């Protein structure tokens, strides 16, 4: 084993998880050098002081930070359980001889954590840790802000909070702007941004000229004009997924945003829960006809024009488009298209032929035959989060 070249040892390490790499690093100096590239490629920051301490310890290491490429931030707070009986019911503590003592100790820990979260003390520590991460990790390219996670991250979060109940994940988590990468140097370094089930508090993403992949699913707040400016500055964007919240006064209009996007390498665009005019959407798609390979739209409304007219104008016009999905929740006078019509529309847009005749779900209540986008995860994207945020998979 000692005779193996360093390149082969690095290749071996690339197939191992951090739990396997930890003991392997103790075998020899060469294995320690080979393993460190893959030892901690991602760091996690949760709304807990222990998480801030752990992350700062990693960031102070002389070697590890330069191999970190992804930062995952979860600002989920503990639940607000003021009443003692709510606490007993909400915290599933094992019953036993020391039940009362354990419960009282855990409740003290919970109260201290909740007070520090509500006062903003932990938030300030998180903001400082985020700034340190972008300062120390020169290869940090991917930023994920989410309260929904794949199972491995959920297990880590549960370990950090020692089983304390967090706010229900169905509720959006509000994030202060101080917890987000907002200054120019940070924005310039990022290549991917993923935001899932988060309510942003006036985030100014700055300019993002190196951004390649942007996936955003907001819950309760609409983006500010500065958000549009950030996207317009991302001249190398290849992936654009956008889902905006449904508000009391209707859907968010995407016209001004689409009007400012003119890219050379936009490969994938997915839009959900937006309002747009037929002319603006057609103009946006035809402008990217030489690069766009995947397009999906759903839960959306045309405030000007009609869907059949839009499909007619796009038919056989998209030179490299391979996947086109319009899910049944396209809004047409409170009626929903059938899956069969959507499948026919996909064929019509991609390959032409006779124009499909509109059919609606109330006339065919059991029709579920609609196309699905087969996700081709590109470099720099984390597949687990892609599946969680992508409504078209």
What are the tens digits of pLDDT across the range 139-152?
Answer: 888 888 888 888 87
Nearest to 244 by CA among 269, 223, 213, 214: 223
The model's pTM: 0.81
Q: What is the pLDDT of residue 375?
A: 58
Judged by average pLDDT, the poorest of 16-20, 164-168, 182-186, 286-290 is: 182-186
* Average confidence (pLDDT) over 270-284: 93
**Coil, helix or strand at residue 37:** helix
Q: What is the pLDDT of residue 100?
A: 64
Q: Tokens 């687990």 sit at which residue? A: 384
Q: What is the pLDDT of residue 298?
A: 86
Q: Tokens 């909740």 sit at which residue? A: 114
Tokens representing 156? 């880590």
Judged by average pLDDT, the poorest of 90-99, 128-137, 153-162, 313-322 is: 90-99
Strand stretches in 232-335, DSSP E: 239-243, 252-253, 268-272, 274-277, 294-298, 301-304, 323-326
- Going by pLDDT thresholds of 50, 70 and 90, the confidence category of residue 380 is very low
The most confident of 37-41, 56-60, 181-185, 199-203, by mean pLDDT:
56-60
The phi and psi torsions of 244 (rounded to 5 degrees) equal -110, 160
Q: What is the pLDDT of residue 158?
A: 87
Nearest to 243 by CA among 221, 217, 266, 215: 217
Strand stretches in the chain, DSSP E: 42-46, 70-74, 142-146, 173-175, 192-200, 213-218, 239-243, 252-253, 268-272, 274-277, 294-298, 301-304, 323-326
Q: Which is higher by pLDDT, 290 or 384?
A: 290
Question: 290 to each of 125, 137, 271, 343, how far by Cα in Å?
Answer: 46, 36, 19, 23
pLDDT digits (tens, 9 = 90+) for 302-350: 999 999 999 999 999 999 999 998 875 777 767 788 888 888 999 999 9
Q: What is the mean pLDDT of the chain?
A: 78
Strands 213-218 and 239-243: parallel
Tokens representing 206? 């700055």
Q: Is the pLDDT of residue 126 over 70?
A: yes
Nearest to 292 by CA among 319, 259, 267: 267
Per DSSP, helices labelled H in 142-268 are 151-161, 184-189, 225-233, 255-259
Q: What is the pLDDT of residue 313?
A: 96
Q: Which is higher by pLDDT, 123 or 392?
A: 123
pLDDT digits (tens, 9 = 90+) for 197-245: 666 655 555 557 788 998 888 766 666 667 778 788 888 999 999 888 7
pLDDT digits (tens, 9 = 90+) for 58-94: 899 888 888 888 898 988 888 776 665 555 555 554 4
The phi and psi torsions of 370 (rounded to 5 degrees) equal -130, 155
């Amino acid at each position: 084993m000692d005779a193996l070249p360093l390149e082969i040892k690095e290749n071996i390490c690339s197939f191992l998880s951090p739990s396997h790499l930890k003991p392997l690093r103790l075998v020899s100096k060469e294995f320690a050098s080979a393993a460190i590239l893959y030892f901690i490629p991602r760091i996690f920051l949760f709304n807990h002081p222990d998480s801030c301490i752990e992350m700062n310890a990693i960031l102070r290491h002389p070697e590890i930070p330069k191999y970190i490429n992804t930062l995952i931030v979860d600002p989920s707070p503990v639940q607000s359980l003021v009443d003692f009986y709510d606490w007993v019911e909400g915290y599933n503590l094992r019953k036993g001889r020391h039940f009362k003592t354990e419960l009282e100790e855990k409740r003290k820990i919970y109260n201290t954590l909740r007070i520090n979260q509500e006062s903003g003390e932990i938030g300030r520590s998180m903001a400082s840790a985020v700034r340190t991460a972008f300062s120390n990790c020169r290869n940090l390219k991917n930023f994920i802000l989410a309260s929904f996670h794949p199972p491995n991250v959920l297990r880590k979060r549960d370990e950090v909070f020692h089983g304390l109940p967090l706010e229900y994940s169905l509720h959006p988590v509000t994030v202060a702007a101080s917890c987000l990468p907002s200054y120019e140097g940070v924005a310039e370094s990022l290549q991917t941004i993923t935001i899932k089930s988060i309510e942003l508090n006036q985030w100014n993403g700055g300019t993002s000229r190196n951004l390649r992949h942007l996936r955003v699913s907001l819950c309760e707040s609409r983006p500010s004009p500065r958000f549009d400016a950030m996207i317009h500055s991302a001249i190398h964007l290849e992936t654009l997924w956008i889902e905006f919240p449904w508000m009391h006064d209707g859907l968010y209009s995407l016209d001004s945003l689409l009007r400012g996007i003119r890219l050379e390498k936009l490969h994938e665009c997915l839009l959900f829960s937006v309002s747009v005019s037929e002319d603006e959407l057609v103009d946006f798609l035809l402008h990217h006809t030489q690069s766009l390979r995947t397009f999906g739209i759903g839960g959306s409304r045309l405030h000007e024009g009609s869907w059949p007219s839009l499909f007619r104008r796009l038919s056989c016009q998209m030179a490299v488009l391979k996947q086109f999905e319009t899910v049944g929740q396209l809004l047409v006078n409170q009626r929903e298209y059938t899956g069969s019509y959507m499948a026919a529309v996909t064929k019509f847009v991609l390959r032409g032929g006779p124009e499909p005749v509109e059919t609606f779900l109330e006339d065919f209540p059991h029709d579920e035959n609609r196309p699905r986008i087969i996700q081709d995860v590109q470099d720099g994207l984390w597949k687990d989060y892609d599946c969680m945020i992508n409504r078209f998979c």
